Homo-oligomer: A and B are copies of this chain.
Amino acid sequence: MLALHSFFRSGTSHRVRIALNLKGISAEYHPVDLRTDAHLAAAFKAINPQALVPVLTVGSEHLIQSPAILEWLDETYPEPPLLPKDSFARARVRALAAMVGCDVHPLNNRRILMYLRSQFGADEAAVNTWCATWIGTAFDALEVMLAADKTRGDFCHGGQPSMADVYLVPQIESARRFGVDLAAWPHIMAIDVACQAIPAFANAAPSRQPDAA
């Protein structure tokens, strides 16, 4: 039995929930409430010394870091695949994923925003501008790449959801929460619509989790 240690609003937990749903894998939901510092408790740090969600528990193994968890899921449960077969296509999908996973999400993470507030005196407007800057910079580049891909169907790559959509959809959710106007990125918006029509994505949304506020 798998168990997912997740916080409903965590974008990285959201990715893993989507991937589990796409592959039809059930996992027990273990909420970790970041608002009450549940992730800093000794019991949680024993399973993840980094004190971050998500953690996917598989028997006695505790898998951490969503990029590693997603690759593990795709290797262990190959159907439906999150990566295409062609090697350049795989590199492209992983690059689209990393644009969000490396160059957006880590910057808008809860601990970073707390630091901006406490150490640089950032108010909510400054925090939202910070978030919007990195989301916008990456989404501008993503939009160019998506528009240039003439073989693309309804998703980030081809006609099926891939690892890239697994990263993008939680980032869109987060962008909305930070008040970012998404109208500048019509390809990204259309991908969100296509994904939300799929129950695996819709059921992974923060608002549908047991720990949702």
Contact = CB atoms under 8 A, between A and B. Distances in A.
Contacts of A75: 87, 90
Given A49-B145, A126-B119, A141-B51, A91 B71 contact: yes
A93 B122 CA distance: 36
A202 interface: no
Interface string A114-150: 0110011110001001100100001011001100100
- Counting chain A residues whose Cβ lies within 8 A of the other chain, the interface size class is 35 or more
Given A75-B87, A102-B101, A138-B50, A94 B122 contact: no
A105 B103 CA distance: 10
User: Which secondary structure characterizes the binding site on chain A?
Assistant: helix
Given A87-B76, A90-B72, A120-B122, A67 B102 contact: yes
A102 B65 contact: yes
Contacts of A95: 63-65, 68-69
A122 B130 CA distance: 14
B102 A105 contact: yes
Contacts of A72: 87-88, 90-91, 94
